[in-house]
A and B are shown apart, each in its own frame.
Chain A
Amino acid sequence: MSETTMNLTLKIWRQKNQNEKGRFVTIEAKGISTDMSFLEMLDVVNEDLTRKGEDPIYFDHDCREGICGMCSLYINGQPHGPKHGTTTCQLHMRSFHDGQTIVIEPWRAAAFPVLKDLAVDRTAFDRIQQAGGYVSVNTGGVPDANCLPIPKVKADEAFESATCIGCGACVAACKNASAMLFVSAKISQYALLPQGQAERWSRAQAMVEQMDAEGFGACTVTKACEAECPVGIKLTNIARMNRDYFNAKFFKEETVHH
């Protein structure tokens, strides 16, 4: 590994709170190591700001391992930055070069209002999950786990859908701010598993309706979401969701099971 340092010009979105208007602020970041992660670079900038008595930049993050889905920066026009298949916290400064200008914005979507600086409110995602993202079983009284064999291929496919980290990059990437990739990932996980069958149709309907109520846009299949998703959630999930949703909506309960 060869560590070098570089100087960067950051154009960062600063916004005091949800009600006030935001604007870009230019900050020079000097002596940034190529070994730093993107968020560590921002830590350094924040330490400098704090020493100068200026308010540090607020951004969401927690695990810094690419799994909690909390980090959410729109970097040079791309959610989670230029590197494919990674979250912002897993992006390293060696993906940038000395003298580069980096524009850093929050996720932009009507359903994700900016709270402060680079942090947005993603509770709409939780409300969609609450509408039906579960199998209705209580704790206790369930059969032995191996009573329900699931073919490995099916289980693996369900797992692929289940890997969504709920970051919202798909919404930020989409010109319509559609949440279809996120919603379809959960619907697919259950649609593929035997445990999810009993509520398959009602779940699809409830989650899609909540998604619409939250003000997310429609899908026009630009595939931007799939390209920017850090964990590789596939567009086929959306197709599956649409099929289940229309089944649920246009056919009677008795006729939709196949």
Chain B
Amino acid sequence: MILDSKIPEGPLAEKWSRHKFNLKLVNPANKRKFTIIVVGTGLAGASAAASLAELGYNVKTFCYQDSPRRAHSIAAQGGINAAKNYQNDGDSVFRLFYDTIKGGDYRAREANVYRLAEVSVNIIDQCVAQGVPFAREYGGLLDNRSFGGAQVSRTFYARGQTGQQLLLGAYSALNRQIHAGKVTSYTRHEMLDVVMIDGHAKGIITRDLKTGAIESHEGHAVLLCTGGYGNVFFLSTNAMGCNVTAAWRAHKRGAYFANPCYTQIHPTCIPVTGDHQSKLTLMSESLRNDGRVWVPKTKEIAEKLRKGQIKISDIKEEDRDYFLERKYPSFGNLVPRDVASRNAKQMADEGRGVGATGLAVFLDFADAIKRLGEDTVRAKYGNLFDMYYQITDENPYKQPMRIYPAVHYTMGGLWVDYNLMTSIPGLYALGECNFSDHGANRLGASALMQGLADGYFVIPYTVGDYLTSLGFKPVDKSNPAFEQTRLEVEENVNKLLSLKGSKTVDDIHKKLGHIMWEYCGMARNEEGLMKAKGLIQELKKEFWNDVTVLGENEELNLSLEKAGRVADFIELGELMVDDALNRRESCGGHFREESATADGEAKRDDEHYAYVAAWEYTGDNQPEVLHKEPLVFENVKLTQRSYK
């Protein structure tokens, strides 16, 4: 199959308008003849489901939590970007487009990113109309802040809980449609497979997590809005239940997986304390606006500090290395995430890390407190400081925070065309689940924007075009594919339940996490990746031979839920390694040590790697086939990113 991105003709700024005009429309009276399945109720899923139901389609939504409102989008703190230019500081759709393309290290599609920037302005209008309580200025207008190193203030926020407020807005719109009878919501349901008929997606198989019932659901189109796969690393800032299962099972049915190795490691997280750790907590990036990052100048001082022979206050100013300010004088502490993370790792590798494990750097507010006063700092960051205090038992007003990078976001995901359709006709992917807009590195406050853009403003147009091609027939539920796929899922569940080895699922998951972090994390090289591939293959065997899954299917079953997800993570892990091996260049979050500039910065290879790597599954334990979608840049000039 040839990858057709379906990017519309015409000048960049007109592509989306023209495309909308060319898409076929479904007559209002016919919309109710179609059913659309939406898996996931985060920003992408909830906004899509509500908007489609408003148009008149019948919608079924699914999520694994007990309520649609608890999707992982709820945890986003910092904010959402939009090219409103309310601050008159030089922002525009083109600037947001440009920043996103550049921030993504020129590995995203121009047309998709431009559309994202274009509809970003509508998102804010929509959310305000719903009653989302964004931060405001005294004059009553919306407040903005600069975020993640952006040179304009285009980030809208709701104190430290932008994600929760945006999601509750989308959830309220969804609730209105549930009340109207246009949406049926299935909670505590996990999607385990896609039903394929004549090469098209026609439904899904789910497991009711409460009763174990394995059911099939039919639909004219299926939208996967199931979030990212950061939990392949075991430890990440993602919620505990975030998983790749829905996307992975779709991949096995023919949906290509694009750029799986692009992972974002966020620089400001609370460091790991011990083996018991179950997840990592993000400290908002906004902290870098006022906090200064440093480590002791020498290994010796760092070691004394770690051993408790000296205190932080004993380290003289000249013995502190503010390494980001030193290396990147123009951006300083506000360099992009990938750069900040790699530098922190480098400090730890040099033996200059702090904290008991040495895997941390300081984020110091002493200067900010001196300059602005403790009250101002409290007003700005109080909730974050409290959270830090709560978790670490250390008071950040009195001593610097300790931070370290952690897995946070996955830019890779299911390959989609401009219409957000995967390589399976009728199967779409929205939000973090797809690969489309962030290239090799995502800018802060852009994931919320993308999820809502996809759900509110893209899919309502593009899905209709596909539906009109189907005619108005109901999906044939008696087609044997439904029962066949259901039986296959049941068999897989039984196979998992028959495993009675000596390891727990978490044992295996933690091992996988170590392998991924060590060899496919912040820095990657050929030798390490080859080693990781072997280790993952062994781990897969260990899982199927020696893991234990307890209980039965017909109940809430913790070990069964985890086992299914970890089995998929193991397979995904191997593909991530393959993808990282294939891409012998450094770009964004993917740093290949073999491809660096003289001073150790990431070096792209546009001549050979300016493409999207889309992987096709060919069978169990078979190598996947690589398809390349060339990236064409007509509106920006490719440059090496520099933040010096």
Contacts and interface: CB of A to CB of B under 8 A. Distances in A.
Interface of A: 1, 3, 16-17, 33, 35-37, 39-40, 43-44, 46-47, 50-51, 53-56, 58, 60-70, 86, 90, 92, 94, 115-116, 119, 121-123, 125-126, 129-140, 142-146, 148-152, 155-156, 158-159, 162-163, 165-166, 189-190, 193, 195-196
A33 B131 contact: no
B390 A86 contact: yes
Given A63-B75, A68-B75, A145 B84 contact: yes
A124 B235 CA distance: 33
A166 B69 contact: yes
B21 interface: no
B65 A62 contact: yes
Contact of A62 (B138, B240, B390, B456): B240
B568 interface: no
Given A126-B68, A134-B172, A64 B54 contact: no
Contact of A64 (B129, B136, B278): B278
Interface of B: 47, 50-51, 54, 65-70, 72, 74-75, 84, 86, 122, 124-131, 133-142, 158-159, 161, 163-165, 168, 171-173, 175-176, 178-179, 185, 187, 210, 239-241, 273-274, 276-279, 281-282, 387, 390-394, 456-457, 460, 502, 504, 506, 548, 550-551, 555-556, 558-559
A151 to B, nearest CB: 5
A50 B550 contact: yes
A135 B550 contact: no
A62 B72 contact: yes
A60 B70 CA distance: 11
A77 B602 CA distance: 55
A151 B142 CA distance: 10
B243 to A, nearest CB: 11
B472 to A, nearest CB: 24
Given A36-B276, A62-B239, A68-B75, A140 B281 contact: no
Contacts, number: 219
A62 B210 contact: no
Given A56-B558, A62-B72, A134-B173, A43 B128 contact: no
Given A39-B278, A68-B239, A133-B172, 16 more contacts: A37-B278, A40-B278, A43-B276, A47-B506, A65-B281, A67-B74, A86-B390, A123-B187, A129-B172, A135-B130, A136-B176, A145-B124, A146-B142, A152-B137, A159-B165, A163-B161
Given A115-B556, A149-B140, A50 B504 contact: yes
A149 B130 CA distance: 14
Contacts of B210: 115
A165 B133 contact: no
A149 B141 contact: yes
Which 3 A/B pairs are nearest by Cβ-Cβ distance? Answer: A149-B140, A134-B172, A142-B129
A47 B504 contact: yes
B276 A116 contact: no
A33 B130 contact: no
Contact of B556 (A68, A116, A134, A140): A116
Contacts of A142: 125-126, 128-129
